[in-house]
Homo-oligomer: A and B are copies of this chain.
Amino acid sequence: MIIVMKAGVSPEQLAQVTKRVESLGLKPHVIEGTERTVVAVVGAEQDATVSGMETLPGVAKVLPILAPYKVASREVQPEQTVITAGPLVIGGGRVGVIAGPCSVESREQILASARAVKAAGAAGLRGGAFKPRTSPYSFQGLKEEGLRLLAEAREETGQAVVTEVVAPEDVPLVARYADVLQIGARNMQNYRLLEAVGRCDKAVLLKRGPAATVDEMLLAAEYILDGGNRQVMLCERGIRTFESHTRFTLPLATVPWLQARTHLPVVIDPSHGTGHANLVPSMAAAAVAAGADGLIIEVHPDPANAASDGAQTLDFTVFEQTMDTCRRVAQAVGRRMA
Contacts and interface: CB of A to CB of B under 8 A. Distances in A.
A155 to B, nearest CB: 29
B54 A276 contact: yes
A325 B43 CA distance: 42
A172 interface: no
Contacts of A4: 65
Contacts of A35: 44, 66
A291 B168 CA distance: 39
A183 B167 CA distance: 16
Nearest to A261: B245
Contacts of A286: 252, 286-287, 289-290
A38 B31 CA distance: 12
A249 B251 contact: yes
A138 B38 CA distance: 24
Contacts of A53: 304, 310
A22 interface: no
A36 B250 CA distance: 30
Contacts of A119: none
A36 B55 contact: no
A308 interface: yes
Given A55-B310, A135-B222, A211 B189 contact: no
Nearest to A184: B189
Contacts of A273: 253
A252 B246 CA distance: 11
A68 interface: yes
B33 A138 contact: no
Nearest to A67: B60
Contact of A333 (B51, B75, B328): B328
Interface in A228-251: 239-246, 249-251
Contacts of A249: 239, 241, 249, 251, 253
Interface string A21-52: 00000000101111110101011101110011
A7 interface: yes
21 contacts: A2-B38, A2-B65, A7-B75, A29-B31, A38-B40, A47-B308, A137-B222, A166-B192, A210-B211, A211-B211, A211-B239, A213-B245, A241-B242, A245-B257, A250-B251, A253-B274, A256-B278, A282-B290, A325-B332, A328-B332, A329-B329
Given A47-B308, A241-B242, A289-B329, 17 more contacts: A2-B38, A2-B65, A34-B43, A52-B303, A52-B310, A55-B277, A55-B304, A166-B192, A211-B211, A211-B239, A239-B243, A253-B274, A253-B279, A253-B282, A285-B289, A328-B333, A332-B332
Closest 5 CB pairs of A and B: A52-B310, A211-B211, A289-B289, A328-B332, A186-B189
Interface of A: 2, 4, 7-8, 20, 29, 31-36, 38, 40, 42-44, 46-48, 51-56, 62-63, 65-66, 68-70, 75, 132-139, 166-169, 186-187, 189-192, 209-211, 213-216, 219, 222-223, 226, 239-246, 249-253, 255-257, 260, 273-274, 276-279, 281-283, 285-291, 303-313, 325, 328-329, 331-333
